[in-house]
Amino acid sequence: MRLRTLHEAIMCWCKIVSFSVAILLTAVLFAAAATVPVAAQYNTMQFRYNAQHIGDYSLVAGRSRSRGQLTWNYATGSVVDSSPAVANGVVYVGCYNNVYALNASNGTKLWNYTTGDLVDSSPAVANGVVYIGSYDDNIYALNVTTGAKLWNYTTRGFVDSSPSVSNSTVYVGSDDNNVYALNASNGTKLWNYTTGGYAFSSPAVANGVVYVGSEDNNVYAMNATTGAKMWNYTTRDWVLSSPAVVNGTVYVGSVDGNLYAIGSAAAVPSQVTTPGFDIMLAFVGLAIVAYVVRRR
């Protein structure tokens, strides 16, 4: 009788586990389908996707892949060095001395804003504002809908750098050798850090740290709140490359011909627990115990 009871308990356990696994797999499949919507809508877009510059657009790319067929093109009349940012169905990009907003579906111009010089900087879009630099030494904040200027901050050099926006702060480099942190709402300077060369590189922001390269051959890590230098790594030539930060490592190139992977000051957990799965296993365990006790 005891062996039969034990056998029945084991069989019940197998059934419960099989049923639970089926539920878990179904939930995972539904979650995966919901993660990449057919027509993703999003309010924020920055150079290389986000403030960390990871360059992975999977969450907003949709399910279909481009087949290489032209949908539309917009003639700007000049060279386009700026990289586009797409948010809420609008493409934002710099060209010559203009910032353009184009309908993402058909390329129709919605508005343009004219700066005082070339715009090679790539826009960042966050909270209804387009942030972008210009060779007229300014960083601009423009209304996403109308293109109206909300504010500008004047540096002492060209702004080739593409801004990053994090925690209501705009981080950007300038050819005056400085990295700036500006209040995203009104453009007030919060701090600046002076490097030994042009700050052409676009800052990456992760875990309260700003990472950026300089033409003084260094990669810098600065406290995002205070601007205090945390560390610098010296390469053998200019660092024009813009860092990417993934899993606690800073990836950046140098004119010395090397790509560097540098351990970051802020650790990122390598594993993320899934509370729902733990709870389900606990439920299964309790069910088995209850069954065995009841059979006794």
Report residue 287: phi and psi, to 5°: -65, -40
Residues 149 and 255 in one domain: yes
What is the rounded CA–CA span in Å between residue 235 and residue 254?
7
- Tokens read off for 142: 């423009």
| Residue-level pLDDT at 157 | 97
Residue 171 within a domain? yes
| Residue-level pLDDT at 67 | 81
What is the rounded CA–CA span in Å between residue 102 and residue 169?
26
Neighbours of 161 (CB within 10 A): 29
pTM of structure: 0.74
Instruction: Report the number of distinct structural domains present in the chain.
Output: 2
| Residue-level pLDDT at 163 | 95
Residues 9 and 87 in one domain: no
Query: Domain residues for 7?
Result: 2-35+272-295
Residues 177 and 288 in one domain: no
Interhelix angle 2-35/275-295, nearest 10 degrees: 160
Residue 51 within a domain? no
Residue 74 within a domain? yes
Residues 26 and 83 in one domain: no
The residue among 189, 79, 195 whose CA lies nearest residue 138 is 189
Residues 31 and 159 in one domain: no
| Residue-level pLDDT at 282 | 39
Residue 104 within a domain? yes
Is 53 within 8 Å of 244 (Cβ atoms)? yes
Report residue 168: phi and psi, to 5°: 65, 25
Task: Find the CATH number of the domain harbouring 125.
Answer: 2.130.10.10
Residue 277 within a domain? yes
Residues 114 and 226 in one domain: yes
| Residue-level pLDDT at 64 | 73
Residues 97 and 235 in one domain: yes
What is the rounded CA–CA span in Å between residue 73 and residue 55?
23
Residues 8 and 111 in one domain: no
| Residue-level pLDDT at 90 | 93
pLDDT by 10s per residue, the chain, length 296: 544 565 565 555 555 545 554 455 445 444 444 443 434 446 778 777 776 666 666 777 777 777 889 999 999 999 999 999 998 899 999 999 999 999 999 999 999 999 999 999 999 999 999 999 999 999 999 999 999 999 999 999 999 999 999 999 999 999 999 999 999 999 999 999 999 999 999 999 999 999 999 999 999 999 999 999 999 999 999 999 999 998 889 999 999 999 999 984 444 433 333 444 343 433 434 443 344 334 44
Is 161 within 8 Å of 201 (Cβ atoms)? yes
Residues 233 and 286 in one domain: no
